[in-house]
Amino acid sequence: METVIKQPAIAAIGTALLAVFVLHTIVQWRRLSHVPGPFWAAFSKYWMVKTALRGDQPSALKAANDKYGSLVRIGPNELATDDPDVLRRMMAVRSAYTRGPWYEAWRLDPTRDNLFSMRDDAAHIQLRGKMAPGYSGKENLSMETTIETRIAKLVDLIETKYLSTHGQYRPMDFAQKTQYFTLDVISDLAFGHPLGYLDQDDDVYDYIKITKASIPAMMILSNMPVLANIMQSRFLRSLLPKDTDKIGFGAFIGVTKKVVAARFASDNPSEPDMLGSFIRHGLNQVEASGEALLQVVAGSDTTASTIRIVMIHLLSSPPIYKRLQSEIDDGIASGKISSPIKDSEARQMPYLQAVIKEGLRILPPAAGAFFKEVPPEGDTIDGKFIPGGTQIASSPLAIHHSKRTFGDDAEVFRPERWLEAEGDKLAKMQSTVDLVFHSGKFQCLGKNVALMEFNKLFVELLRRFDFSVVRPTEPAKITNAGVWMIEDFWVRVTRRHSDD
Q: Is 489 annotated as a binding residue?
A: no
Name the stretches of the chain with pLDDT < 70.
1-7, 14, 16-27, 237-239, 247-248, 498-500
Would you give the distance in Å from CA 2 to the centre of its chain? 60
Q: Which fold does the domain 44-92+139-205+295-495 belong to in CATH? A: Cytochrome p450 (1.10.630)
For the entire predicted model, the pTM comes to 0.92
Distance, CA of 93 to CA of 258 (rounded, Å): 35
**Closest CA relative to residue 277, chosen from 138, 448, 449, 450:** 138
Q: What is 320-347 written as a DSSP string?
A: HHHHHHHHHHHHHHTT-S-SSPPHHHHT
pLDDT in tens, 117-156: 999 999 999 999 999 988 887 777 789 999 999 999 999 9
Domain ranges of the chain: 44-92+139-205+295-495
Catalogue the long-range contacts made by 177-181 (C-beta closer than 8 Å, 24 or more residues apart): 178/304, 178/307, 178/308, 178/311, 179/208, 179/300, 179/301, 179/304, 180/154, 181/150, 181/151, 181/153, 181/154, 181/304, 181/307, 181/457
Cα 277 to Cα 144, 175, 271, 284, 327, distances in angstroms: 16, 31, 7, 12, 37
Q: What is the pLDDT of residue 24?
A: 56
Q: What is the pLDDT of residue 274?
A: 86
Edge to edge, the sheet with strand 172-173 lists 172-173, 490-495, 465-469
Q: What is the pLDDT of residue 202?
A: 95
Q: What is the pLDDT of residue 457?
A: 98
